[in-house]
Amino acid sequence: MSTHKDITIYDIAEALNLSPATISRGLKEHPAIRKDTRKKILEKAKEMGYRQNFFASNLRRNRTNTIGVIVPRLNSYFMSTVIAGMEKIANQAGYNLIISQSMESLAKEIVNVKTLYNSRVDGLLVSLAYATDDISHFEELLDKGVPLIFFDRVFEHPQCTSIVIDNYKAGYEVTEHLISQGCKRIAHITASLKRNVYADRLRGYKQALSDNGLDYNEGLVFVNNLSDQAGMDVTRSLLKMDPRPDAIFTSNDACAVSCIRELKMAGLRIPIDIAVAGFNNDPLSKVIEPNLTTINYPGHEMGEVAASTLIGRLDLKHGTSLNTIVLRHELVIRESTFQKV
């Protein structure tokens, strides 16, 4: 069996009867090497299948030009748009991404951090898992001066910038809109209140109720994983209530769509019998009938801003003056809540 070894500058030097130093400078298109010699070196390198070892070169400069990304899960439209935004900016700046999932597990998140640290990433972009209580597992990176940017699900830390929307305001706006449509008994489906996004949306929901003279009912708040199954289970529980809620506000669109399907199977009319609002403005919000009222969450922009902020730190273009960057969101009103009067 034949084996194939990587072609080195010494192989090219031998083939062209030139010194390895000349080959090295020619491959870097050094001005001290004549144009015709550079051309000959580059052509021979291509012919022989030479691959430049950028990793070793970057290590000598104490830079790998790689950015680590940790997300809870990759199977959401929102997260895919965030990563697309990150990739756009990273590629333009000559960086590559290493992407990993925590699967909503603190233990897996800790493993991911260690793996990325050992991979010598230049910086880290992180959206935290449901179960994360603190960020002590990131301290080794921070102690080594590796910049860390949180996005979406964040943790306040003096050395870290967070990229978010105003989840409190968004939660308030959705709830107030439902109230304006005549809803008075509004159920809220959310996820782990350890995470800022869900805790802040719940605060907004509570405040909107209070500001409109409605009592907060803990029995109408459901904390789960916001999956399709969770939406089905909660909806079945709501259908058994007397009096039944006249609106549901969920913290993501997938769960809201699951609620709508279950309500329609039970023969309820939306929004006449019960209004439903979601969060994130996933494409499925415009496919479900009726179309879903939701919050437009700028995922692509969030990814771009997170990557730009991190690369700015790495290239020393700016310091750590901004601890939180708040992006604009938008309430998108559609037929699942409209005309509930």
Q: Which phi and psi angles does 148 have, rounded to 5°?
A: -130, 125
Helix (H) or strand (E) holding 100: strand 96-101
φ and ψ at residue 74, rounded to 5 degrees:
-95, -10
Task: Provide the residue-wise pLDDT of the chain in tens; the chain has 341 residues.
Answer: 344 567 888 889 999 999 888 888 888 778 888 889 988 998 988 888 887 665 555 544 567 899 999 999 998 999 999 999 999 999 999 999 999 999 999 999 999 999 999 888 999 999 999 999 999 999 989 998 899 999 999 999 988 999 999 999 999 999 999 999 999 999 999 999 999 999 999 999 999 999 999 999 999 999 999 999 999 999 999 999 999 999 999 999 999 999 999 999 999 999 999 999 999 999 999 999 999 999 999 999 999 999 999 999 998 755 555 689 999 999 999 999 986 44
Q: What is the CATH number of domain 65-166+299-328?
A: 3.40.50.2300
Same fold, 65-166+299-328 and 167-297: yes
User: pLDDT value at position 338?
Assistant: 83
Tokens 């960057």: give the residue.
325
Domain 9-52 annotated CATH 1.10.260.40: yes
Q: What is the largest CA-CA distance in the chain?
A: 90
| Selection from 287, 186, 278 nearest residue 238 by Cα | 186
161 by DSSP, 3-state: which? Answer: strand
* Three-state DSSP class for residue 293: strand
pLDDT at 23: 87
pLDDT of residue 339: 63
Q: What is the pLDDT of residue 26?
A: 86
Question: How far is 188 from 129, CA to CA, in rounded Å?
Answer: 21
Q: 2.30.30.100, 3.40.50.2300, 3.90.1150.10, 1.10.10.10: which CATH number matches 167-297? A: 3.40.50.2300
* Number of DSSP helices (H) and strands (E) in the chain, helices first: 12, 12
64-92 burial, b at 16+ Cβ within 10 Å, e below that, comes to bbbbbbbbbeeebbbbebbbebbbebbee
Hunting for tokens 């904390």 — which residue is that?
Answer: 223
pLDDT of res. 21: 85
Q: Residue 54's pLDDT is what?
A: 53
User: CB 195: neighbour CB atoms within 10 A?
Assistant: 24
Q: What is the CA radius of gyration of the chain?
A: 26
The one-letter code for the residue type at 252 is N
Q: Could you give phi then psi for residue 127, rounded to 5 degrees? A: -115, 120
**Strand, helix or coil for residue 4:** coil
- Angle between helices 20-27 and 9-16 in degrees, nearest 10: 110
Going by their DSSP bridges, the two strands 221-223 and 275-277 should be labelled as unpaired
The residues spanned by each domain of the chain are 9-52, 65-166+299-328, 167-297
- pTM equals 0.82
CA distances from 68 to 65, 86, 319 (A): 10, 11, 20
Q: What span, in angstroms and rounded, lies between the C-alpha atoms of 325 and 309?
A: 10
